Amino acid sequence: MKTIPTYQWQPTTPEIAARAGIPEHLVERFDQNTSPLPPPAVDRIIKSRTRLNEYPAASYADLRNAVASNVNLDPDNVAPGAGADELILLSARAFLDPGDIAVVATPTYPLYQIATAQARATLREVAAIGPDFSFPTQEFLETATDAQLIWLCIPNNPTGNGPDNAALETLLATGSRVIIDAAYAEFSEDDWTSKIRLHPNLLVLHTMSKAYGLAGARVGYAIGDRAAIASIDAIRPPSSIGSLSLEVALDALNAPEQMQANVSSLRAARVDLAAQLTKLGLRVLESSTNFLLCEYGPNAADLQDKLMVEGIVVRKFPADGPLEDYLRFTVRTPAANARLIETLERKME
């Protein structure tokens, strides 16, 4: 039987706190690209609307309507999911048959590899172009000529960049199914509605885990052509989004001002954090997301370990990969970012 890769989870906050010998509230997660800013209050939702003893309506019509209103599409162009992760896995099942070919530019989010393997398809990986991990347009196009599916993360995690519009239009013109993971679209101000209308082979996946600050709720949605959405709905579990998560998500979607304010705050903090990291001697790659990928050098993994001892958790990468010398920092609150810089000043060699 073919071995399918598994997702490598990061240590939990309680585990890190126990290792560092500090209270849990002193652990700062710079590794998960989640929002440090509070989501909408849930007490009113629990008391007034949510019936936790009953299943949510499997159609999720309210969620579809709220998303459709925000993106200026019809509800039939929207499919719900338990975060972008479930939608990635569903996309592979819906659009890949055993023996099919999918293509992805690396380094990127590892779940595309896992989803492709679960569909018993073949994944072709095209390396990004150094030193800034630029999208490898020409090689990617040549590799994707006979592919059934193209995975794109825009902006890309963990590099913070992606293909330009001309490259994207050329990929869409191939006729292959193009899946865009737009988890960070709110930070980069990407609006995919016009391309959805023009390209029936395009499916765009969104999450409410990042800009909306609802990572624990596990809510996402896909937007695309009605036929593509129908393909997702045909294999979607009936109740993968819980009732409480659904109500919190609806509350956020129907009043997006808080999300927009959070995004503005984090974008400003990103500029400041990039400047501070640059002053410390790290090479900071340009980013349009809520995280920064930085080149530190051969001791990057050691530095990550030293930071974790003090409850500062940053993202490191496999020792045998192209990001061996890099660390990724999520943009947090000004106070947390200041703590990160102060700790780096003490721990850097």
pLDDT one-digit tens code per residue, 296-346: 999 999 999 999 999 999 999 999 899 999 999 999 999 999 999 999 999
**Domain 13-38+257-347, second-level architecture:** Alpha-Beta Complex (3.90)
All structural domains of the chain with their residue ranges? 13-38+257-347, 53-253
Q: Could you check whether the bond before residue 131 is cis, i.e. omega within 30 degrees of 0? A: yes
The predicted model scores a pTM of 0.94
Quote the CA–CA distance of 14 and 185 in Å, as a whole number. 31
What CATH number belongs to 53-253?
A: 3.40.640.10
Is cis: bond before 158, omega within 30 of 0? Answer: yes
List pLDDT tens digits, range 187-243: 999 999 999 999 999 999 999 999 999 999 999 999 999 999 999 999 999 889 998
Q: Do 13-38+257-347 and 53-253 agree at the fold level?
A: no
The whole-angstrom separation of Cα 177 and Cα 184 is 21
pLDDT at residue 48, rounded to an integer: 55
pLDDT tens digits for range 250-271: 989 988 998 999 999 999 999 9
Q: Is residue 104 left, alpha or beta, with left meaning phi > 0 and alpha meaning psi from -120 to 50?
A: beta
